[in-house]
Amino acid sequence: MEFADIFQSEAFKLYGIPMLICLARITDVTIGTMRIIFISKGMKYLAPFIGFFEICIWLAAITQVMENLNHISNFFAYALGYSIGNFLGIFIEGKLAIGTVVVRIITKKDSHELAKTLRKQGYSVTVLDAQGNTGAVNVVFTVIKRADVPKILPIILHYNPNAVYSIEDIRYISEYGLPSNEAKTKRNIVNFLTRGIRK
């Protein structure tokens, strides 16, 4: 049997094509899930770029399904690839930890040591006095990279183990809200892009 004949065999149509469809769907849905997340973070250049590859892969998968409607395994492969792709997209984006978040900490205990430690770590910290349901509290705000969340949580729990904290994504932040090294990097990127536009 020649190599070309393998693609025409009944075994390939029964097992090979569904596997290829599933892999194609996993790939394009993974990319699509990340694209949607990138859009929500305001990444207007990266999202359309990966969207091009997403739709190319999707067209290849749907073409195989439409050309082989007589095999129900293709439909299950298409659906399975879609499900796995959603999971992988969210998982990969979580590992990449792209973006910036604001951490809001509410604590009854004096937050002086917590704020001091965070500032020593290079984070910008704002502390406010507020009134909670049961009395006076401190509200601590800091803006960090998402990748730094695992680093900052142990610090919060060490100094204020009963603190209530929330973490929210930020779509845009001015350079003044960033630590000095990150602000410098942002300025360099903006200057580079602006110089390119002027040319």
What are 109-127's pLDDT values in tens digits? 788 888 889 888 888 898 9
Report the alpha-carbon distance of residue 28 to residue 57 in Å, rounded: 6
Q: Which residue has the higher pLDDT, 109 or 199?
A: 109
What is the domain partition of the chain in residue ranges?
Answer: 3-96, 100-177
Q: What is the pTM of this model?
A: 0.60
The pLDDT of residue 8: 59
Residues 6+ apart with CB under 8 A from 172: 42
H/E stretch holding 191 reads: helix 180-198
Q: pLDDT confidence of 189, banded at 50, 70, 90?
A: very low
pLDDT digits 0-9 by tens, 53-102: 888 888 888 887 777 777 788 888 888 999 999 999 888 877 877 778 88
Write the DSSP assignment of 111-153 as a string of letters.
-HHHHHHHHHTT--EEEEEEEETTEEEEEEEEEEEGGGHHHHH
Is domain 100-177 in CATH 1.10.10.10, yes or no? no
